[in-house]
Amino acid sequence: MTSQTPVLSTAERRRPLVTAAALETFAKGGYHGATIADVAQAAGISPAYVFKLFPGKDALFVTALERCFEQIVEALAAGADGASDRSPDGLLDAMGGAYAELVRDRTLLMLQVHAQSVAEIPDIGAALRAGLAEVTQFAKRRTGADDDAVQRFMAYGQLCHLIVTAGIDEQAGDWAAILSHGIRHPD
């Protein structure tokens, strides 16, 4: 008896490729700056085919954001798996280090920043909140840390976003030193 591998349609095979292209394109240009045509060009398909796969720009952005948060949770899990210190704080620290490595190229970080800037669009705001909920709940469940420690973990992540996107760690002055004190990022 032979096992049959399900045959994926062209659309099913292209959907992840278009999602990856959307993630990159929206991370660079933002929701308002990137077009369906830009995503189509990055994916090597026609804009009409993008519309066949996704009903509109909002749905495409949401799918890219969902993939972004999937990658974040995967990185956090890998960080926790590799932690030498198995205490809640040790696990959170290892997860934070894994996240810092993940966002080194800034693509996922910038997509989150762009999502925050258009969170008033109902579907995007809902996807952003769902992604943040998933990361928060994963950190809590995986580490067993108390709520205050998980809140600090999430707050540090947002502070890291601010430091990187605004270039605060490259600024002189007491204010920049205060904000970036104790925060480490991979080179």
How crowded is residue 51: how many other Cβ atoms within 10 Å of its Cβ? 15
- More confidently predicted of 10 and 168: 168
41: burial class by Cβ within 10 Å (0-12, 13-18, 19+)? middle
CA gap 135, 133 in Å, rounded: 6
pLDDT over 90, % of the chain: 79
Cβ-count burial 67-96 (b if 16+ within 10 Å, e if not): bbbeebbebbeebbeebeeeebeebbbbbb
Sorting pLDDT into bands at 50, 70 and 90, what band is 86? very high
Residue 2 has pLDDT above 60, yes or no: no
- More confidently predicted of 12 and 114: 114
Q: Which domains does the chain have, with CATH numbers?
A: 62-180 (1.10.357)
Sorting pLDDT into bands at 50, 70 and 90, what band is 59? very high
What pLDDT score was predicted for residue 78?
97
CA gap 146, 88 in Å, rounded: 8
What pLDDT score was predicted for residue 117?
97
Tokens of 88: 């809640």
What pLDDT score was predicted for residue 96?
93
What pLDDT score was predicted for residue 145?
98
**Mean pLDDT over the full length of the chain:** 92
With beta carbons less than 8 A apart as the criterion, state whether 113 and 163 touch: no
Residue 9 has pLDDT above 90, yes or no: no
Rounded average pLDDT over 57-81:
97
